[in-house]
Structure 1
Amino acid sequence: MDDLWKCLLIVLACLGRKACGSEIINGEKAPDGSLLYMASVQVRGVHVCGGFLISEDFVLTAAHCDAPGPIHVVLGTHNLKRVDDGNMIKIEKRCKPSYYPSRGYGKDIMLLKLSRKVQLKNNVQAIPLPCSEIHLNENTKCRVAGWGKIKTDGEAVDELRVVDVAIINHQVCEGKWSDNLPANVICAGGYNTSKGFCQGDSGGPLVCNGVAVGIVSFNYKETFNKNANCDYPDVPNVYTDISKYLPWIQRILNGANCYD
């Protein structure tokens, strides 16, 4: 059994760093005291995805970040080497939309119910969501953050990194994706720029004007090519549009079961 768990942790470590971690390309270390909503989604102490706190007892992340085994989240630190029992919280419940097939088909959103409420304080804060359905203008400046590699075939990092990205016109994005774009998504970064996310930034938030508007879902190389390539420009990075799921989110936050 010990050998089985060792193998699982090795697989999860690779998953966390290459598929569900957080790779920020051409960004910088997040300043202390910033991005206090960021969460590391972990399985048995191994980082597998990003996420973000939206209330005292819920973290939002991507549906494809769901993994076998007990899940924890880490809050209140930018450095994944500085984790203790005080900032590691067990997950009580995972909620995904029904009929979620895979990230390339949309509905890539998941709510994680924490086993206890966190105290919002100097190093932990929730981030607001949109109040209603939004339509972002092209070139709106936003940012995305996460942990992991910072270049193709590079080393993973333990300190949170952040990069600015711009919203891409949806029609342009659809054209670059050759009609392979699912519904209810936002495009930002990764195209006509050297900045964006890469394989591994899954679950982290796209933040515009202090509001979490998107969830990192996928990019071209991640979906169609097994070889990770973080050298942009490429095709636009794709995020789940949170505003399209506000009624579903609110029902669950209010205590409803996990359903559409």
Structure 2
Amino acid sequence: MFALQQFVVIYALTFLRQNVLGSKIINGKIAPDNKMLYMASVQDYRGYHICGGFLVSENFVMTAAHCDLYPTYVVLGNHHLRSADKLVIQIAEKYKHPYYWVVGHGYDIMLLKLSTPVRPSKRIQFIRLPFREMTLNENEKCRVAGWGKINTSGNVVDDLRVVGVSVISPQVCRERWGGLPPNVICAGGYNTTKGFCQGDSGGPLVWKGMAVGIVSYNRAIPETKLGNCNYPDVPNGYTDISKYLNWIRKILQGKKS
């Protein structure tokens, strides 16, 4: 087991299971109300935000497999989580990738089937997925968004925030982490002050209006097991959606995984 697997299993998962306060977009800005209308808040039975997600069809929201922390509802249609004017839909079924075990082994992808279909509107839109396997070039500009803390020791916030990040080469990412799980995109974090932290999981990495990645992992602080938003030693890791298109199509078409 390479270093990344060992580190993520010990620290990142411990944090995610015990501290589900929401996302932490670092050095970003509040997202405009008329943008990123595919964003979803995945919430537990108490209505607490546990992960981000994004609407990919009228019946499904995509998120990370490690967000299987008793997700019960999906909230759409408003970037402000405390607003009463939002659409709350119960989750009918969840489909984790069958090869998922822990974050460090990859396959960190999950589809949530909604109990009621969602129609596109002025407040809710789907986001496109890749139509074939692809590889992003180094330094491609992307965006990542989420709700919650904006720094390591900051307070939780309720407005969706977004930040721009650049793709980091697999070679640099592998060197910095000491290895990589399969099918990962690295962007933000390393050598910059922008990116995400633990708890922002499940949100999309967006490139040219397309969801190409899913927020998966970052470094945690060993002494506290809390997310470390004071970057600069390792890149952020995202699940590469284009590598799972066959599995995704089966689920969206109503076939079991």
Asked if these proteins are the same fold (TM beyond 0.5), I'd say yes
Structure 2 match to 1:246:
245
| Offset, 1:103 | 1.1
| Offset, 1:83 | 3.8
8 Å CA contact 2:25–2:200 kept in 1: the answer is yes
| Offset, 1:13 | 10
Stretches of 4+ aligned residues off by more than 2 angstroms:
11-16, 222-225
Structure 2 match to 1:234:
233
Q: Which runs of 5+ in 2 are unaligned?
A: 1-14
Q: The residue matched to 1:16 in structure 2 has which SS?
A: coil
1:57 pairs with one of 44, 56, 59: 59
Q: Does 1:37 align with 2:41?
A: no
Change (3 A) 1:34 1:14: farther
Structure 2 match to 1:16:
20
Change (3 A) 1:71 1:167: same
8 Å CA contact 1:138–1:167 kept in 2: the answer is yes
2 CA distance for matches of 1:227 and 1:74? 26
Structure 2 match to 1:3:
none
One-letter code of the match for 1:49? C
Q: Does 1:196 align with 2:200?
A: no
Change (3 A) 1:200 1:76: same
| Offset, 1:200 | 1.0
Structure 1 match to 2:5:
none
TM-score (normalised: structure 1): 0.89
**Percent identical residues:** 60
Change (3 A) 1:101 1:243: same
Over residues 105-150 of structure 1, what are the superposed CA-to-partner deviations in whole Å (9 max), with x where a residue is unaligned? 1000000000011120000000000010011000000000000100
1 CA distance for matches of 2:184 and 2:127? 20
Q: Does 1:114 align with 2:118?
A: no
One-letter code of the match for 2:249? Q
Q: Which runs of 5+ in 1 are unaligned?
A: 1-10
Q: The residue matched to 1:55 in structure 2 has which SS?
A: coil
1 CA distance for matches of 2:182 and 2:80? 35
1 CA distance for matches of 2:130 and 2:253? 17
| Offset, 1:234 | 2.3
Supply the RMSD in Å over aligned alpha carbons.
Answer: 1.9
Q: The residue matched to 1:176 in structure 2 has which SS?
A: helix
1 CA distance for matches of 2:110 and 2:23? 17
| Offset, 1:232 | 1.7
Structure 1 match to 2:4:
none
TM-score (normalised: structure 2): 0.90
